[in-house]
Structure 1
């Protein structure tokens, strides 16, 4: 945005930006406590299918006992014997997330949804209307509390990297402002693990050079970082200095996605190939339908399998032609599955198409293929009107409840990354 637009970020003033990062506090657990007053003030943990999954999130009452995201249920119960397990309600979480993200646009059109419970806002142009980033944050927190009964933590800083760091500093219900002149002194004591984008593997590699804090990373010779980490060495150096020029990208300006996929964790480990193939068909239909809805076709099909012991691997193949037809995606994925000698029962299954091409749907030239395409179109029309799997393949009619059981980190409120969840 340029010109006289009050929300534009003037070119050349990238270091004078005011960026806000919003992070909903223990989002899934807080939504459950708000929806059920009997759960308020109690240690609860949201899990997937009852009886077999890891902790998706825990309330702050549970966190006080050491319950953490990713814990297995028996570990969480050992840490907190009074822990209350609540099965995930994905439709409710995505509904509230969409409502909150829509509300954020009242403060600026420059909103980037980072995940189901996080967003970045560029407030640089909004300051003319609202006065300061802190005032916007207080208004935002008050609205979320009033309309949804939820709390959030907010960080305000000159860039996205520091704004996200700031939002993590005071939880729950915190507000942290990092001013430009405070950056250098702050980073002297901030561990590199606190920076978004530096994972465990990178931490271990940096530790071998004696780098544990952001300031140490910023002072370390760039040529050595580049020699060890390649092209990201320069970026790591700049992160250590607290520098980040990446823009806040609204959904309508985001780059085209590079894949369309779905995965599901089973309620029980699957051993029979017939059962696994049934789920594979369901996933292929979910992938194909979403691809067709957004005019996307893919050439490469990837199958992901996770065993009961959490060993995870993928197999992929590239077709000679593009497709978004569910039956073709399924057949290709099934061939990949049949090439694998399954060593253990399967815990998770995923299907994804990549090498995407955005193009309008064109009916095939030959009769048999044309009939299949028209039948697919008719199925999509019915399902668009009456919901997922209102009409489906015969082998899925008596199957388990359809729908995504896990909300992917790539989920967005709108567009091709929006997934209908169960």
Structure 2
């Protein structure tokens, strides 16, 4: 085995990125054989839903994530719409992530359908990186009937790039000696972390590939993008020193938030306030569960035109995790702006976090608030979200939990969001 290891053209680190293929749609096809081989789009349960994801059969017709249903149907008239089962997706994701720990203790959940694995220390047990990937793909296929695409490279940035190169069910390896050629061939839009706005700015500078980006003068990148310019330069070179961080070793989460696309556009202040209270309660409950308090409230609003949005933030006098105080901060922010259109989406977030000790507040009024919040949390933990709630929320539809799975979702801990 030692001789086999010496033949592997890698440095000190070997990173694997696992990306489940069309995860939600694939789970639906696996659970219902009638959907296999057919164009399937997973959608939300609300009237104003969009395509959450779709099968590869649907993608062949041009159906894409984020499409309105009428647009998706125009691309593929035979498209089968399936309402997503978020609890099932999170259950299967948790089991798949658990399976990965059989190959290495260094597993970092990147999203519900993606993970990074540091397999540098696993070669003596399982052989080459390609063999480890093949074993993992086989286990996932045997146990769950699902496929994944895997990228292997010297760092996380390149491993994620590699996993996107062959889909579905692909396996791509980028060796250190191949990095420069790979960067020259890779359009900047394919690199994780470069969005449409950044791509446009880089293109105006004559930068079209990652190789172009790596060779572009760092000084000019700093002038154009500030401190981000240095990071862009390193990305263009394929350099990434960030470690794979298992959840139990990760840093404290910097913010806790929830957002919600509304069933209908709202114009009346009292209607908007009901949803703000619901979102504040969802944020506060998660924070109390993990003993975290925050000081900065952020309100996000998206208008009915879908494209116009804004956010405002306010720093509170004291750290808090009480829903009522989070709500009051959100209301203050709402009242600080003049809404120019009906509201389509609302979001509430609390940042500037710290862990909170178990000591009760000094003043009687504050102690009562803390006891009330604790009592409500205990009832809702036992009987389900919003079993006990504020009277004003009784008229709010869909108050059982989050409609969507957050991109920051994790199998456990404060980033795990309860979904319906």
Give the TM-score taking structure 1 as reference length: 0.93
Is the contact made by 1:49 and 1:267 (CA closer than 8 Å) also made in structure 2? no
> Following the alignment from structure 1 to structure 2, what is the Cα–Cα distance between the partners of residues 234 and 337?
37
Q: Given the alignment, which residue of 97, 104, 112 partners 2:100?
A: 104
Structure 2: how far apart are the matches of 1:377 and 1:51? 34
Distance, in Å, in 2 between the alignment partners of 1:332 and 1:272 is 19
Q: 1:235 corresponds to which residue? A: 231
CA distance in 2, matches of 1:256, 1:50: 33
Aligned residue in 2 for 1:121: 117
Contact 1:20/1:157 (8 A) holds in 2: yes
Asked if residue 269 in structure 1 is aligned to residue 261 in structure 2, the reply is no
Task: Give the CA deviation at 1:232.
Answer: 2.4
Q: Which of the numbers 385, 397, 400 marks the counterpart of 1:400?
A: 397
CA drift at 1:214? 1.6
Q: Give the C-alpha shift of residue 268 in structure 1.
A: 2.2
Q: Does 1:319 align with 2:327?
A: no
> Is 1:382 matched up with 2:361?
no
Q: 1:246 aligns with which of 242, 245, 250?
A: 242
- Aligned residue for 1:218? 214
- The Cα of 1:91 is off from its aligned counterpart by 1.1
Question: Equivalent of 2:164, from 160, 163, 168?
Answer: 168
| Aligned counterparts of 1:331 and 1:68: Cα–Cα separation in 2 | 39
Equivalent position of 2:290 in the other structure: 294
Matched, 1:22 2:10: no
| Residues 5-404 of structure 1: pairs in structure 2 closer than 5 A | 15-310=11-306, 311-397=308-394, 399-401=396-398, 402-404=400-402
* Structural RMSD (CA): 1.7
CA distance, structure 1, for counterparts of residue 365 and residue 203 of structure 2: 61
Q: Give the gaps of 5 or more residues in structure 2.
A: 1-9
Shift of 1:215: 1.6
Inter-partner Cα distance in structure 1 for 2:68 and 2:51: 6
State which drifts further: 46-55 or 185-194.
Answer: 46-55
Shift of 1:170: 0.5
Where does structure 1 lack aligned partners over 5 or more consecutive residues?
A: 1-13
Write the distance in 2 (CA, Å) between the matches of 1:224 and 1:336.
38
Q: What TM-score, normalized by structure 2, do the two folds share? A: 0.93
